[in-house]
Structure formats: structure tokens, C-alpha cells
Amino acid sequence: MTRRNILKARRIVVKIGTSSLILPNGKINLSNIDELAFVLADLNNQGYEVILVTSGAVGVGLNVLGMEKRPTVIAQQQALASIGQVELMSLYTQMFHRYSQKVSQLLLTRDVTDFPTSRENAQNALNALLELDIIPIINENDAIAVDEMDHQTKFGDNDKLGAIVSKLVGADLLIMLSDIDGLFNKNPNIYDDATIFKEIHDITDELRQMAGGAGSRFGTGGMTSKLAAAQILFDNGQEMVLTNGARIREIREIVAGKEIGTYFSQKV
């Protein structure tokens, strides 16, 4: 089947998670980064406006310093994010350069998107970059983002950041790359009879309970956060596809309307 509405999409946000950027042994997944650069550069060449929302700064920072475990001290995590972000952008720049694609970096905090003047400035910058055929690469500014009293700067997770960026730029589609093929009725890593939802048109309490239920590895920042991101998009009349970041080249098939992953779209 073809998801005909996706065929109209011209402005696309792609969000990639740490699990798609870092191998199980803690090393950087260079193959995935290279494939991501190739696919997004190819889409840009075809006339699509593409924005990349990336995680991975702390994971890359751990790799740079040869550390196996994420520290528990917040300041040390912030230092790792600062170190890792430089290396991550260096990798992206190198990989995209292979395909003659220019990129830029924007590091956001929640107060930037909440405060009207700074939000407008961010929108203007992103629109200007897209007009120049540059792919903006966005991450949360983890080195300084904190939540203190009434001054909230953290988005909470990059799934939410992906949805907020999609809202910010008026994207036609958010493609969320995860470590799972889509949204299932139960954890497919535990249950052989788990089935995937091809389409979701309403974020119900039943779905939320299923995503965060006991025994589900999706409960903390997994499927729960992806449903929250989908709700942000629904509230803004936007759409999302959740799919597996292990098969990055399928992004082109998704944009072509092929039924891959779980399609989140409200019925009018």
C-alpha cells in the first residue's frame, strides 16, 4: 500500500537516536552515519528540504575518552556532551562532504523554543539554511541544559526535540529512527507473537499504558517518549513515521510512500 499523504511531503525532519549511532561495544557506528549522510544528501538533491535531529553526543564523548560507563555526576555528563558534540559534528561534516552536501549545526535548549523572540530567530535561521540547500543538524545543548526552579532548558529527550523542531519549521513529516521496526502491541524482543501497528490515528490511554507497561523496555524514554512526540505532532496537524535506524536507506522508500514502520497520522 502507498501512504499517499506522505507523497506530498517536501520538508522532512529525520531524528536519529543514540542506539543507531553507537554500536553495542561502545564504538561509533560509522556505517550508519555514512548511510545517513548519503540518503539525506540524496533527498536534498531531489529537492526535499531536510533537517537532521541527532542524539549521541554523550555516547560519542564516552568513546573519545575511552570510558565504558556513563558517569552519574551531572557536570561530568555535561563535559562528555561537550566533548562528544565536537567529534559528532566532525564525523557528520566528513561524511556529508563525501556526497558534496553542506551542513550546519544548531544546539537548542527548551527556553529558546518557548520564548517568542528566540523561537522566531531560530525559525528564521533554519529557513535561511534550507533556502541555501544546507542540511541543519540539531541537537539539544546538553552541555548547559538544566532544569532549575522555573527556568526549564531541557527538552527531556530528543524524541520530543524532534517533534518540537518539526513544529518549529512546519515540517510535513518527521521520520523517527529507533532500534525497533515500529510500534508493537507488545515487546517483540520478548514475545514472538508481537504484531506491529501499521498506522496509529489517535494516542489513546491504552496505547500509553501498553508502551510503559511492566516488563517493557520501552517504559523509560522508549516508546513512551515516542508516543509523546507523536501527540505533539497530532496537536499541530503533523505526521510521523517510526522505523528502524538499522535500515537507513529505507528512508527513501518511506518518502516514496511505501508502507514501512508505523505511520502516525490523524484522520481528518
Q: Is 104 annotated as a binding residue?
A: no
Q: Is 100 annotated as a binding residue?
A: no
Q: Is 142 annotated as a binding residue?
A: yes
Q: Is 198 annotated as a binding residue?
A: no
Q: Is 20 annotated as a binding residue?
A: no
Q: Is 216 annotated as a binding residue?
A: no
Q: Is 225 annotated as a binding residue?
A: yes
Q: Is 179 annotated as a binding residue?
A: yes
What's CA 96's distance to the chain center, in Å?
18
Q: Is 221 annotated as a binding residue?
A: yes
Q: Is 222 annotated as a binding residue?
A: yes
Nearest CA among 45, 13, 55 for reference residue 170: 13
Residue 264 and residue 16: Cα distance in Å, rounded?
Answer: 17
Q: List Cα–Cα distances, 165 to 32, 50, 98, 140, 218, in angstroms.
A: 22, 12, 26, 11, 23
Dmax over Cα atoms in the chain, in whole Å?
51
Residue 179 and residue 188: Cα distance in Å, rounded?
Answer: 12
Q: Is 220 annotated as a binding residue?
A: yes
In the annotated binding site for ATP, the residues are 15, 178-179, 220-226
Residues that constitute the known binding site: 15, 55, 142, 158, 178-179, 220-226
Residue positions in the annotated binding site for substrate?
A: 55, 142, 158
